[in-house]
Amino acid sequence: MLQELILGALNGRTKGASPSPSKLSFAIENGDQGECVRETCAGIKRRIAKTGNSYSYIIGEKNLGARDLSAMEFAKACVIERLSDSGDQISMMLFNAAKDIAREELLRRTDPESASYLSHLVAHDTVGSGPFSILMEDKAGIEEIEVNSAASPITVYTTDFGRCSTNIRFASEAAFRHCVNKFIIDTEKELSEESPIIDAQVDDARVHAQMRPYVLSGAAASVRIGKGKSIGLLTLLKGQTFDVNTLAYLWLAIDSGMNIVISGAPASGKTTMLGAIANLMPFVSKAVIVEEEINELRFSMPMGNIVSLYGSRYGATNSRTQTINALRMRPDRIILGEMRGEEARELFSGANLGIPFITTMHSNDDDLSIVKRLLVKPMSVEPRSLSMLDLSICMRQPGVRTRIVSSIREYRWLSRAEIEQGTEVGDGDSVESSMVTADGRTKEEAIFQSKAMLCYAKCNKLTVKSARKELERRLDFLREISPAAKSDESLADAIAKYRKGAVSE
């Protein structure tokens, strides 16, 4: 049906008068003329220019003058008129049809080269989502799109150059709202006076947007763009997020069934770290994954027995309820995408029953500060369950392309007979923490003396001496295989094969 409508619109072109012009949802300002440090052609040409210590993200081959804008407004009106029966269906076929219609109209008002460029922008403004879909064409190089107001230029956070101001902005607050709603059209959500704050997932992008009265500028949005594939253990090793000794230690901790919290600031690599170390789980293990709404967790290798639950995507439940449901599904481990509120109580209660977990939480704290945060609202973990915390991994982003494991700490508890005295946390319990890893580097001796080593020996009914031998074998294996591995998948596959052949003496 859509194809027939498009063909009808394309065949129905006339040389008659154009409809009244239709205002564009965006404006493109004059581009920064600084030194070009990157140029790409993602749909249309764009470049990153450096001026002093700042970078600008410049869209387009030329500056748009008043004549160009006028021509685009007439072209937009033609597209709307001819494709008015296509409804809200957005596809590449529809985009190309809009581009063809716009180009035909533009050729009446400008040269062929300009018509090709301007028609691409018009197609985005009619069947796309304006500035959002224009910028999403370059999603391989962009990590986030940021809107601080309709009047100010949109900002992008790029993979290679960090935060860059662009030369595109919305024409008005109404245009911003319209483009947001076009962008999230498949999510059954709408930014409106009735719902002035929305969270949505669009393919590989996580969208948060607000409008008046909750944002004084009238328009604010953040679009976090996923890269469509996982970042695995080998990538983190090569990026120096952690070293081989740390990987061996984490492998030991996963096999020991330790409960792990990964903390850090936004964009510090928490979810990436969670997805990477989850690949260390045995293939036969059953994992139940709970995510609030966003399908962010990705794995380098397919896991053998996995169930994914959404916490609030469809409005009928939440992360706490789904965590309770996960406990009823006989998992070997629960993986909670992010721990924010009451789901923390259920997660720790489940761990107290013998179901280990891995989760993330927003926090720049480490050491005992994490323990204190878990005790108070909104998480309010019961003190008698809190002692199930074994390990915290603190992530940090020291540079644009750099994420590191700032620290890994183990927790020993009085109630679990792991210490005789420590810092009191309530309900008669005390805790003591010790650092295993600093700045992504772990000393061998720290692993041999770790709680993870003792837990591994206990879980596998080994002597500490035998557990140490197994660790040495794993270290030798990882040091040999890591340089030779060609991809995250190949390293994960090698670890899976090692499991099948490894025999502890």
| Segments in 328-463 forming alpha helices (H) | 343-352, 368-375, 383-386, 444-448, 451-459
Q: Are residues 201 and 323 in the same domain?
A: no
Last residue of a domain, one of 173, 202, 225: 225
Q: Which pLDDT score is estimated for 7?
A: 44
The pLDDT, as a whole number, for residue 477 is 96
Residues of the chain short of pLDDT 50, as ranges, are 1-2, 4-7, 9, 13-15, 503-505
CA of residue 467 relative to chain centroid, distance = 36
Q: How far apart are CA 311 and CA 323, in angstroms?
A: 8
CATH number at residue 398: 3.40.50.300
Q: For residues 357 and 334, is the Cβ–Cβ distance under 8 A?
A: yes
Please list, in sequence order, all residues whose beta carbon lies within 8 angstroms of the beta carbon of residue 58, skipping any fewer than 6 positions away. Answer: 31, 32, 46, 47, 48, 49, 166, 167
Same domain, yes or no: 364 and 241? yes
Phi, psi (degrees; rounded to nearest 5) at 235:
-60, -40
Q: Of 225, 260, 288, which residue constitutes the final position of a domain?
A: 225
pLDDT of residue 296: 67
Per-residue pLDDT tens digits for 244-288: 999 999 999 999 999 999 999 888 999 999 999 998 998 888 999
What residue ranges in 212-325 does DSSP mark as E strands?
A: 219-225, 260-264, 286-291, 305-310
SS3 string of 413-427?
ECCCCCCCCCEEEEC
CB of 156 within 8 A of CB of 144? yes
The structure's pTM equals 0.79
First to last CA, the chain: 67
Residues 304 and 324 in one domain: yes
Same domain membership, residue 217 and residue 84: yes
Kindly state whether residue 505 falls inside one of the protein's structural domains.
no
Task: Answer yes or no: do 362 and 472 share one domain.
Answer: yes
With beta carbons less than 8 A apart as the criterion, state whether 106 and 114 touch: yes
Q: Residues 17, 126: one domain?
A: yes
Backbone angles phi, psi at 262, to 5 degrees: -105, 120
Question: Could you give the CA distance from residue 12 to residue 168 in angstroms, rounded to a whole number?
Answer: 33
Q: Kindly state whether residue 249 falls inside one of the protein's structural domains.
A: yes
Q: Residue 336: inside a domain, yes or no?
A: yes
Query: From CA 255, how far away is CA 280, in angstroms rounded?
Result: 8
- 218 shares its domain with 244: no
The whole-number pLDDT of residue 336 equals 95
148 and 73 inside one domain: yes
Does residue 210 form part of some domain?
Answer: yes
Whether residues 13 and 126 fall in one domain: yes
What DSSP line would sit under 338-358, residue for residue?
---STHHHHHHHHHHTT--EE
Identify the pLDDT of residue 367. Answer: 80
Count of domains observed in the chain: 2
pLDDT at 85: 55
Specify the CATH number for the domain of residue 210. Answer: 3.30.450.380
Six token digits for residue 498? 């090692």
Is 62 domain-assigned? Answer: yes
Chain length of the chain? 505
* Same-domain status, 170 and 303: no
Answer yes or no: is 484 within a domain: yes
pLDDT (0 to 100) of residue 79 = 92
SS3 4: helix
Residue 88's φ and ψ, nearest 5 degrees, are: -95, 10
* End position of a domain, from candidates 200, 225, 250: 225
User: Measured between alpha carbons, how far is 66 from 78 in angstroms, rounded to an integer?
Assistant: 19
- Residues 323 and 390 reside in one and the same domain: yes
The answer to whether residues 11 and 54 belong to one domain is yes
In a domain, 125, yes or no: yes
- Residue 164 resides in a domain: yes
Give the domain range for residue 406: 233-499
Contacts (Cβ under 8 Å, ≥6 apart) of 31: 47, 49, 56, 58, 59, 60, 63, 167
Quick check: 314 and 292 in contact, CB under 8 A?
A: no
Is cis: bond before 213, omega within 30 of 0? yes
Q: What CA–CA distance (Å, rounded) separates 148 from 155?
A: 8
